A and B are shown apart, each in its own frame.
Chain A
């Protein structure tokens, strides 16, 4: 089966492109980014603020499994319904610098649409660290699982 979500990250570039095709009309895809209640559901976050307009700002708070709260925020630079959102993204209380995101929404057919997320980081190293985060966490979890399976065999 072909992968629906694709990541394009060139070696020496401080940017990456995420693309995804949805079995959804363009308007429904865009609504998932526009309506705070829907964003909360699929992002698994609490939406504190989401001002969908030029010079608007947004703020999310996510609670991890340990109960720690993580804040995210940014500014909206462009908001064109069913076309594009340009915004900044910052993880609070982390060494990661702010990143710039260009979201483009396209109609493919009446019932399918495509999202392109073009993310620009401060440096190549910053981009690579962001890419590594889920890897490092997954590695840890995979090995913990392996250890618990092995310990049951003893």
Chain B
């Protein structure tokens, strides 16, 4: 069987999704990522390797350490990654609109 190393394969695993959520807020070393999981370190390391192979994670050398961060370009392949951000604001503004439509000013 042809083993596909694409973004969809990468996000099919819950640990790998958890890793993506972790590095979404800041870049981290493999050790720092592993310390967030109860799973054995080599297992987490394997997941990081797969995510890197799929280019969802990018490596950055900083002195002797290698940091991993999210690769937004690749995320675009899964979906338009801005859409959830837009949806978040759209929901907020819809709420604002419905609240203000029912707003009764004190004086009038």
Q: With the chains together, A41 CA to B99 CA distance in Å?
A: 8
Q: With the chains together, A115 CA to B83 CA distance in Å?
A: 19
- Nearest opposing residue in chain A for B20, CB measure: A136
A131 with B85: CB separation less than 8 A = yes
Number of interface residues of B (CB under 8 A): 34
What mask results when residues 68 to 97 of chain B are scored 1 for a CB within 8 Å of chain A, else 0?
A: 001010010011011111111110111111
Q: With the chains together, A9 CA to B87 CA distance in Å?
A: 15
Given known A41-B99, A133-B24, A139-B20, contact A5–B89 (CB-CB < 8 A): yes
**A contact face: mostly helix, strand, loop, or mixed:** helix
Interface residues on chain A, size class = 35 or more
Q: Give every chain A residue within 8 A of B81 (Cβ-Cβ).
A: 131-132, 135
Interface residues of chain A, those whose CB is within 8 Å of chain B, are 3-7, 9, 18, 20, 22-24, 28-29, 31-32, 38, 41-43, 94-96, 115, 128-140, 143, 147
Q: Could you list some 8 contacts between A and B, CB below 8 A?
A: A4-B90, A20-B89, A20-B93, A28-B100, A31-B103, A42-B92, A129-B70, A136-B21
